Amino acid sequence: MIDILRIALVPMIGIGSAIMYMRLPNRAMLLVRAAMFSVAVMVIALAITGGLLAASSGTHRVLGHAFVIVLWLFTPAGVGSTVAEAIRSRRWFRLCHTIVLVLLLGTGFLASVSGYLPRGPDASAPQHLRFAVVHEVALPFLTAVLVAAWMFLNRGHSRKSA
């Protein structure tokens, strides 16, 4: 039952964000940008805790879970605001900006899951390499690029439509 509520929460957040954007566009975008800023801060914190602390750091693990939760809640809010902006401004190409958010959500989930790749002393050299390339380099870089892309694409929406 709780899983159904979690899945139902996604469209409810998106619709609520779109309604809020239609009524208060500047505040809605401020909230969504604050959420994206928190995602960016979490990516930096995850890079620091993953690189400087031990591989089995509890801080890195907790931040990873918080990162996925924030993405799960932020993505529908960002999609709702982006769709509402496209409708409000009648610039339909802005609907393509939602692709960045969906890719960001997928990248976040992959980064979280890739943390469970074998990496201990009993792991082979290819497993260590796989973990290093996927979890420590590729997915954090892709996540940072997607965060920057979304911030760049949505930098002036609320000013132009208000």
Q: Which of 94, 100, 92, 110 is nearest to 75 (CA)?
A: 100
The more confident residue out of 156 and 71 is 71
Per residue in 41-72, pLDDT (tens digit) is 888 888 888 776 655 677 888 888 888 888 88
- Hey, where are the domains in the chain? 2-161
Q: Which pLDDT does position 103 carry in this prediction?
A: 92
pLDDT digits (tens, 9 = 90+) for 123-155: 788 877 888 788 888 888 898 899 888 888 877
The mean predicted confidence, pLDDT, of the chain is: 81
What pLDDT score does 162 carry?
A: 43
Asked whether the predicted pLDDT for residue 20 surpasses 80, the reply is yes
pLDDT category, 158, cuts 50, 70, 90? very low
As a whole number, mean pLDDT of residues 7-13 equals 81
What torsion do the CA atoms of 34, 38, 39, 40 make, to the nearest 10 degrees? Answer: 100
